[in-house]
Amino acid sequence: MKSPLAHKPETATSAAPGPVAAFMRFVILGGGVGALASIAVPLLAMTMPWVVANAVITAASTLLCTELHARFTFAKGRSARWREHWQSAGSATAAYLATSVAVYGLHVVQPLSGMLTEQIVYLSASSLAGAARFTILRLYVFAGRRGQTTQPLMQQEAVALPDPARVRQSPCKSWPNESQPQLAA
């Protein structure tokens, strides 16, 4: 018979979501921040050169996305650390370069391509770069350290309690008036 006092041990970290759930969170959070960034760049570009505005918004959105991915996408339950910010920025830079090379390649192959073709190439490259970035973030940046296992915070084992009806009382001289408490049967 299993004791009702036995509990599963709590773990030091919460379980990470599965790959599909994490990818959905990645798309929703990253896409939401990307949509806001696409609005913010032209607004900021009214006060400074577009290249500077794009760099400022890209840096800010990368910081925000790294925090969101640490807390929600990969369920770390904590803020991202500096190492994770730098590694995430590196993967974002690689994704930026991949999309830029794809659009540049389109212009080399088809110099008079229309905006629709350019958007298709950009969004396709962005999707592939995003999937690669998700993989890098999941398997490398936000993965647990190798060789480190989750340790229980507390282990509780079932303890057999003695049956009060079978407990034999020993004489005890320390009770007031030398009387002993009696167990109810």
Structure tokens at 6: 């036995």
pLDDT tens-digit series, residues 135-162: 998 888 888 754 444 444 455 555 566 6
Of 13-22, 76-85, 161-170, minimum mean pLDDT range: 161-170
Confidence of residue 110 (pLDDT cuts 50, 70, 90): very high
Closest CA to 102 of 84, 82, 129: 129
CA 113 to CA 109: how far, in whole Å? 9
Looking at residue 152, the DSSP 8-state letter turns out to be B
Q: Write down the pLDDT at residue 12.
A: 44
Q: In which band, very low, low, confident or very high, does the pLDDT at 6 lie, cut at 50, 70 and 90?
A: very low
Q: Are 165 and 185 in contact (CB under 8 A)?
A: yes
Q: Give tens-digit pLDDT for 161-174.
A: 666 666 565 555 55
Q: Please determine, for residue 131, whether its predicted confidence score (pLDDT) is greater than 50.
A: yes
Q: Is 75 left (phi over 0), alpha (psi -120 to 50) or beta?
A: left
- Specify the higher pLDDT residue, 109 or 9: 109
The pLDDT value recorded for residue 160 is 61
Q: Which residue has the tokens 């577009």?
A: 50
Degrees to nearest 5, angle at CA 112 with 37 and 44: 20
**Alpha-helix residue ranges (DSSP H) falling in 46-141:** 50-68, 82-109, 115-136
Q: pLDDT at position 47, please? A: 94
pLDDT of residue 156: 53
Identify the top-confidence range among 13-22, 35-44, 156-165.
35-44
Least confident piece of the model among 15-19, 73-77, 117-121, 144-148: 144-148
What is this structure's pTM? Answer: 0.60
